[in-house]
Amino acid sequence: MHLPEVPDNEAERLQALIASGLLDDTSSDDFDRFTRLAQALFGCKISLFSLIDERRQWFKSRQGIALKETPRDISFCAHAVFNDKLLYVPDATADERFADNPLVTGDPAIRLYAGVPLHSVDGLPLGTLCIVDDMPRELNQLQLTLLQDLAALAETEIARSTLAKQTAQLQQDKEQQEQHRQRLAAFIDSSRLATWEWNVQTGDVIFNERWAEMLGYALYDLLPLSFDTWLKLVHPADRVRSERLLQQHFDGELAHYELECRMQHKDGHWVWILTQGKLINRTEHGQPRLMAGTHQDISERKANENAITEAYSLLQRVCRNAGLDITDYNNR
Domain 190-321 classification at class level: alpha beta
Strand partners, 82: none
- Looking at CATH, the fold of the domain delimited by 10-168 is given as Beta-Lactamase (3.30.450)
Whether 84 shows a pLDDT value over 90: the answer reads yes
Tell me how far CA of residue 67 lies from CA of 4, 28, 170, 200, 304, in angstroms: 20, 15, 34, 61, 78
What DSSP character marks residue 300?
Answer: H
What is this structure's pTM?
Answer: 0.58
The answer to whether 229 and 222 are in contact (CB under 8 A) is yes
The half-sphere exposure of 25 on its side-chain side, counting CA atoms within 13 A, is 18
Contact assessment for residue 293 and residue 188, using Cβ atoms and an 8 Å cutoff = no
Give span(s): CATH 3.30.450.40, the chain.
10-168
CATH 3.30.450.20 boundaries in the chain: 190-321
Q: Report the share of the chain in percent with pLDDT over 90.
A: 73
pLDDT at 163: 85
Label residue 190 by pLDDT band (50, 70, 90): low
pLDDT for 20 beyond 80:
yes
* pLDDT-derived band at 324, boundaries 50, 70, 90: low
For residue 212, which of 225, 199, 200 has the smallest C-alpha distance? 225
Lowest mean pLDDT among 5-9, 75-79, 108-112, 316-320: 316-320
3-state secondary structure of 326: helix
Q: Omega into 7 within 30° of 0, i.e. cis?
A: no
* Helical (H) or strand (E) element with 81: helix 76-83
